[in-house]
Amino acid sequence: MSAFANIAKIPELRRRILFTLGMLAVYRVGIFVTTPGVDRTAMREYVSSSAGFLGMFNLFSGGALEQLSIFALGIMPYVSASIILQLMQVVVKPLEELRKEGEAGQRKINQYTRYGTVILSVIQSMSIAFWLESLNGQVPSGEIVHDPGWGFRFLTVISLTTGTAFIMWLGEQITERGLGNGISLIIFAGIVASVPDDFFQLFNQASLGQIKPIDLLMFVGAALGVIAVICFFERGQRRLPIHYAKRMVGRKLYGGQTSHLPLRVNMSGVIPPIFASSLLMFPQQLANFNVPLMADINDAIAPGSWQFTTIYVILIIFFCFFYTAVTFQPVEVADNLKKQNAFIPGVRPGKQTADYIDRVVTRITVGGAIYVAAVCTVPDFFRSFLNIPMSVAQSWGGTSVMIVVGVALDFVQQIESHLITRHYEGLTGPKGAGIRSRSRA
């Protein structure tokens, strides 16, 4: 408790935490501002009766989809734009040169990311407007859209695009003036907001006899086990020893130091399951627009079936290797080591170093891909064997719990860094192991 008490003794850290909490509170309030022309009750009824893609989208948006609020798109357009720009940096030469320019180039890439976010938001909000109009007559409680037409579509595009831009601004403010990565914390807040409802739903079904007490205990134990496994793998690293050659500059001797190159077991983060889910739900979206054969394909790979799970696992493993190969460049790492007069013991600088790093990354990615695929199939286990509702299973397994644990580890690590920098004990105490930082979601 003394470590938490030390947080209040540092004015800057206290101010940053309060600012972060305040911005997250503003985001949660905006969740309940409904888009003009939409019946919130009918929309909630439709989303609650649906599963799969809609349930996952509603989870990541913090319940904004079932409210059809101005934040219904959430921060996903920004995440999609960031991923697209990151992938384009490998194949588009001007973007690659911008990345190598340092801070100035990164500011330019961030500006392009904002433009891409607005463009994606306009496209997605227009699609949502047409989709909402097509749902009229499918909900017993009434029509979702009261007055369909171009007026409603224009208002929907303006509301949802502005909402996404505002969330993006909130995230940047948290990153700059708060604590942690703002975008990751907004996604974290949206997922965690469903926890009280999940507990209420579980215990309500247990009291009605729909869930056996032993199944409920097994679910709690399995959920805690999944969290422990995620903590272990997300903090797991393969450290390659790095030696710096000695060199004389004037009369002084420089170099001769030993360091290490940390390679994370899961370099791709939560990107593979997001990509895999988007591809698998694409037939469902096309089926909603009556595209030929898409309805049959969607029925063949319905969520929860063994076909869906098998393809899902294969796609996750593929994207783990693909995204790691795109974002981590062994040749560039080897060149940087050579420029710094650094080398890996027993490996010649240059091409042999790049090949060695590539082999190591490939081997640890095998373990990382299996781990990600296993964690992302946990919701199916909860639903099939423990009779847990799909909405609760998605919250306590798969991509959502990976995001929550990863962001929490990063947030605690930043608090610990502030404490140790100002000569206070970290959150793990004087003898506890420090929490290593991780890449942000």
Q: Is the pLDDT of residue 268 over 90?
A: no
Question: CA gyration radius for the chain?
Answer: 24
Q: Is the pLDDT of residue 230 over 60?
A: yes
* % the chain with pLDDT above 90: 20
Q: Are 174 and 17 in contact (CB under 8 A)?
A: no
Nearest to 157 by CA among 120, 130, 126, 135: 126
Q: What is the mean pLDDT of residues 137-152?
A: 81
pLDDT band at 254 (very low <50, low <70, confident <90, very high): low
Q: What is the mean pLDDT of residues 260-280?
A: 84
pLDDT band at 290 (very low <50, low <70, confident <90, very high): low
Q: Which of these ranges, 28-37, 130-139, 248-257, has the smallest mean pLDDT? A: 248-257
Q: What is the mean pLDDT of residues 84-113?
A: 84
How many angstroms separate the CA atoms of 20 and 16, rounded?
A: 6
Q: What is the mean pLDDT of residues 267-296?
A: 74
Q: Is the pLDDT of residue 48 over 80?
A: no
Q: Is the pLDDT of residue 243 over 50?
A: yes
What is the per-residue burial (b if ≥16 Cβ within 10 Å, else e) of 197-212?
A: ebeebbeebeeeeebe
Q: Which of these ranges, 124-138, 149-163, 240-254, 289-303, has the smallest mean pLDDT? A: 289-303
How many angstroms separate the CA atoms of 428 and 420, rounded?
A: 11
Bridge partners of residue 146, in order along the sequence: none
Q: Is the pLDDT of residue 197 over 60?
A: yes
Q: Are 344 and 353 in contact (CB under 8 A)?
A: yes
pLDDT band at 285 (very low <50, low <70, confident <90, very high): low
Nearest to 165 by CA among 122, 197, 201: 122
Q: What is the mean pLDDT of residues 247-272?
A: 78
Domains of the chain and CATH, by start: 1-192 (1.10.3370.10)
Q: What is the mean pLDDT of residues 356-375?
A: 92
pLDDT in tens, 167-193: 999 999 999 998 888 888 898 888 888
Residue 358, pLDDT score: 93
